[in-house]
Each structure stands twice: as C-alpha cells, then as structure tokens.
Amino acid sequence: MSEKAELHFNGNVYELPIVTGTENEKAIDISKLRAQSGLITLDYGFKNTGSTSSAITFLDGEKGILRYRGYSIEELAENSNFLETSYLIIYGELPTKQEFDQFVKDITMHTMVHEEVKNILDGFPSKAHPMGVLSSLIGALTAFYPNALDPNRSADEVNISIIRILAKMPTIAAWTFKNEIGHPVNYPDNSLDYCSNFLKMMFSVPSDKYEPDPVISNALNKLLILHADHEQNCSTSTVRVVGSSHASLYSSVSAGISALWGPLHGGANQAVIEMLEAIKNDGGDTKKWMAKAKDKDDPFRLMGFGHRVYKNFDPRAKIIKKAADDVLAKLGVNDPILEIAKGLEEVALNDEYFIERKLYPNVDFYSGIIYRALGIPTQMFTVMFAMGRLPGWIAQWKEMRENNEPIGRPRQVYVGENHRAFVDIKNR
Ligand code: CMC
C-alpha cells in the first residue's frame, strides 16, 4: 500500500502522498494541497522543500556522501577526468572509449568563439570583475547561435548547444581574465587537453610561450570534478527556474553564473582568501576573528565554513585539503595562508559555537589555496567554480526540459497593506 501523510486543519483531514527516492529519501507531495485545502506551504530559502525529483546527484549531508549518477566523488576524483565526468553527469552513463573519443573531438572542434565576441569584450572596462563579464558573454552566445533560442528544437540541436557551451567556456573564461589585466587574448590550442588548453589561454603571453605543467592540469581536473554538480543548490535551482520558462541553455547558464557569484555561494572561494589575507595582515590572531564570527552584532562570517546540507563534513573539502597539501608539496610552494587556514580550522572545530551549529569547512575553504598555488588570480576563483559547475547546470537543465517540468513559480504569503484608496499627490 502506498504511504500517505495526513494533515489535520480546521476539522478536516487531507491525505498527502509520500514520494520515496531510490536511496529511500521520503517527501510529502503537497502539489495538490492548495486545490484541496486552500493552504500553501511556507519555507524561506527552500530549506525543506524539494523542487524536483532528479537522477543526477545524490547527496547525504549527515553522512557526507556525494555521488554523481551513482559513482562516489572520491572514486571519480581519483580515477576520472573532467570531460569524462561531464559526459557521465550530462548523459547518465560513463562513456565507452569510442563515445568518449567522439565527445572530446566534438568539444575540441568548437573551442573557438566568434571573432565578434571580442568586440563585446573590448566594450567592458578593464578591471570589470570576470564573473560579470563571463555571465554577459555566455548570455551573448544566443546572438551568435539563434537556433539555440528555441530549446524545443530537435535533440540534436540541443546537443550542439551543449557541446558549444562546454567547448567555449574555457576560452571565454580565460578571456575575462585577459580583459581584466588589459592583455590581448589567446586563441585555443586544440592540440591540448581541456584543462591544459585553458591554462595556456590564461597564462601564455607573446614573449613567453607557456607550457602547461601536468601537475597543474591534473590538479585542475580534480578541482573541476569536485565542483561538477551539487544537486539543487542556489545557482542550479536558478538554471532550472530560468530554463523552465523555455529560455535557452545559454541564458539559463548565464543566470546560473550570476547566482554563483555571491559570497554565500561560489563567491565564497574568493572571500576565503581575502579573509585569510586580512587575518594575516592583522597579525594572524585567529581567536580574534573567531570572536567576530560568533558576534551576532558583527556581520562577519567565517567564510568557507558551514553548508546548507552538509552537517557533518563536506566530502569535497576532505579531498581538497589533501590535494592542497599534495599540490603545494609538488610545486614547492610554501604559502603562509595555508598555515592560517589550518589554524583557523582547528580553532573552529573545537569551538562550542561551531560544534553546536554543525559548521565545518566546506569545499571553498581550501580550493582557493590550491588555485593560488596553481597561479590562478583571486578574482578568477569563482570563474573556476563556474567552469567546474557547467556540466551540472547543463545536465539539470536538460533533465528539467526532458521531464517537461512546469514553469517554476512559487507562491507567497502576502503581508503588505490591505486595500486602501489612492490619495492625490496634493493631499499627501
Ligand atoms: N560563520 C559564522 N556563523 C555561521 C556561519 C559562518 N560561516 N555559517 C552559519 N553560521 C551560523 C548562523 O549565524 C546561524 O546561527 P544562529 O542559529 O545562531 O542564528 C547558524 O549558523 C545557521 O546558519 P544559516 O545561515 O541559517 O545556515 P544556512 O543553511 O542558511 O547557510 C551558508 C549556509 C553556507 C550560506 C552559511 O553557512 C554561510 O554563510 N557560510 C559562509 C559562506 C560560505 O562559505 N559559502 C560557501 C558554501 S559551499 C559552496 C557552495 O556550494 O556554494
């Protein structure tokens, strides 16, 4: 017999079906509640609301489990590469050798962006934050590929948009950085793999031909895999909601990039490094900054700590912390910021305030330290997150469209004025 929950209200009993996921997670289906009872549910920040059912990512915040399409993040970070993981996330299965080779070939063929994109780039002031430029240029792709405007075209048309956005993202991302430092852009080098090509477009200058270091591109591959999807987070929900109006993949992803930018989400990786630097410049007194983080009258939060769903540990942070040690050792980098981060982590993990609220280091706490070691400038950190999250956004958009999900349109409880008569400006 299918399970049901009961809601008792004003002497009536409403039966609500229970939906059970493949990992035995249970949800009360309230989609007919308003029609039956006139009631809606209220949940600020959607803390307890499932917006969809999805077969892409499984996450258990209490146990610290993260899996893409059933495969654990630990195994993927150890054995896969970013494009293989992207294929898995987008199409649902690990590719065969033939499928993978074709996928890589397709992406490599589309790495160039239209020359006129450079004109748009030139219109931005240098010093423009790379995230704002990235979001604009990804949205602007619709101008160059008008067929993408209609996501109801054939599956092949949709797929070509997917390949294009994956292929052009590193090129556009590297160009946002070149714009910021006022240097000429580099074109893609299709003899290189995805991550090495990105590094070369970032760091090559005409007088110094940059050769990507395999230690750096391997570390980058791992970082991108760790960020590749994270179920219904702020930016992904944004992508799904924007896409639910049948907006194009490019516009939906552009909106996702904007959502990611904020310091409570992807922007935290930049904020963490700025915070660690501020602590260092202030004399390195971690206890003083901990006190600030706990003071309710002080808006300061310990950036890189806490997570909406992970209440035990963030499995990505565990992998990243070890990767940070490995990368720094391999590259022979000695970063004093790492010591401050470790000190801060130790103080926080033993502090009653943080223990009570289950606040642990999240993925962003250590990712910035690796990015620094790889030579990536601080203002590009969130762009790196966006590059990593792209396959997740694509897969979630595709799933939402294939399931023909209705337009996203929450309700509200109105708490404003009741009806009142208009007063002419002379009498106000
Ligand atoms: N420093 C100090 N106090 C904190 C922090 C923090 N980083 N995070 C949460 N708290 C406190 C918060 O003040 C509240 O205390 P109280 O119950 O006394 O009012 C309690 O912990 C619960 O916090 P919340 O804001 O209700 O939790 P949330 O689920 O709404 O927010 C979060 C989650 C990630 C936005 C938040 O922990 C935060 O702001 N962290 C810092 C920013 C950060 O590192 N973001 C990156 C998240 S991981 C990357 C990604 O996937 O985006």
* In a domain? residue 296: yes
Task: Give the contacts of 398 (CB within 8 A, at least 6 positions apart).
Answer: 90, 158, 162
Per-residue pLDDT at 313 exceeds 90: no
Q: How many domains does the chain have?
A: 2
Q: What is the CATH number of the domain that holds 20?
A: 2.20.28
User: Quick one: 22 and 128 in the same domain?
Assistant: no
Element (H, E) at 17: strand 12-20
How confident is the model at residue 375, as a pLDDT? 86
* In a domain? residue 155: yes
- Domain extent at residue 133: 80-403
How confident is the model at residue 1, as a pLDDT? 60
Contacts by residues 411-419 (CB-CB < 8 Å, ≥ 24 positions apart): 411/34, 411/40, 413/40, 413/42
Element (H, E) at 27: strand 26-28
Q: What confidence tens digit (pLDDT) does each residue in 274-309 have?
A: 999 999 999 988 888 999 999 999 999 999 999 999
Which is the closest atom of ligand 1 to the Cα of 362?
A: 48
Pick the closest to residue 59 from 50, 47, 67 (CA basis).
Answer: 67
User: Quick one: 36 and 164 in the same domain?
Assistant: no
Q: In the structure encoding, which two tokens stand for residue 209, read together?
A: 């031909």
Query: How close is the Cα of 359 to the center of ligand 1, in Å?
Result: 8
What spatial distance separates the first Cα and last Cα of the chain, rounded to whole Å?
A: 64
Q: What confidence tens digit (pLDDT) does each residue in 323-343 have?
A: 888 888 888 888 888 888 888
Tokens 């006190």 correspond to what residue? 291
**Residues 117-125: what's their mean pLDDT?**
95
User: Quick one: 96 and 203 in the same domain?
Assistant: yes
* In a domain? residue 412: no
Tokens 């999240």 correspond to what residue? 362
Q: Domain end: 31, 50, 69, which one? A: 50
User: Quick one: 97 and 164 in the same domain?
Assistant: yes
* In a domain? residue 39: yes
**Residues 261-266: what's their mean pLDDT?**
95
pLDDT-derived band at 71 (thresholds 50, 70, 90) equals very high
Q: Distance between CA atoms of 185 and 142, rounded to whole angstroms?
A: 22
Q: What is the CATH number of the domain that holds 276?
A: 1.10.580.10
How confident is the model at residue 331, as a pLDDT? 87
* In a domain? residue 57: no
- Active-site residue numbers? 307, 364
User: Quick one: 29 and 177 in the same domain?
Assistant: no
Contact 361/322 with Cβ under 8 angstroms? no
Query: How close is the Cα of 373 to the center of ligand 1, in Å?
Result: 27
Contact 58/70 with Cβ under 8 angstroms? yes
How confident is the model at residue 58, as a pLDDT? 97
Q: Give the Cβ contact number of residue 26 at 10 Å.
A: 10
Average pLDDT, the chain: 94
User: Quick one: 123 and 266 in the same domain?
Assistant: yes
Q: Of 307, 314, 344, which is best to mutate to test ligand 1, by the most ligand atoms within 8 angstroms of its C-beta?
A: 307
Pick the closest to residue 392 from 142, 90, 172, 51 (CA basis).
Answer: 90
* In a domain? residue 223: yes
Q: Whose CA is nearest to atom 36 of ligand 1?
A: 306
User: Quick one: 20 and 105 in the same domain?
Assistant: no
Q: Distance between CA atoms of 348 and 205, rounded to whole angstroms?
A: 42
User: Quick one: 127 and 12 in the same domain?
Assistant: no
Query: How close is the Cα of 320 to the center of ligand 1, in Å?
Result: 20
**Residues 130-137: what's their mean pLDDT?**
98
Query: How close is the Cα of 305 to the center of ligand 1, in Å?
Result: 7
Q: Of 227, 229, 292, 305, which is best to mutate to test ligand 1, by the most ligand atoms within 8 angstroms of its C-beta?
A: 305
User: Quick one: 28 and 160 in the same domain?
Assistant: no
Report residue 249 CA to chain centroid gap: 16
User: Quick one: 105 and 43 in the same domain?
Assistant: no
Q: What confidence tens digit (pLDDT) does each residue in 369-414 have?
A: 889 888 899 999 999 999 999 999 999 999 999 999 999 999 999 9
Which is the closest atom of ligand 1 to the Cα of 296?
A: 13
User: Quick one: 213 and 169 in the same domain?
Assistant: yes
Q: Whose CA is nearest to atom 11 of ligand 1?
A: 357
How confident is the model at residue 227, as a pLDDT? 97
Lowest mean pLDDT among 67-71, 214-218, 233-237, 415-419: 214-218
User: Quick one: 181 and 140 in the same domain?
Assistant: yes
Q: What confidence tens digit (pLDDT) does each residue in 173-195 have?
A: 999 999 999 999 999 999 999 99
Q: DSSP string spanning 220-244?
A: HHHHHHHHS--SS-HHHHHHHHHHT
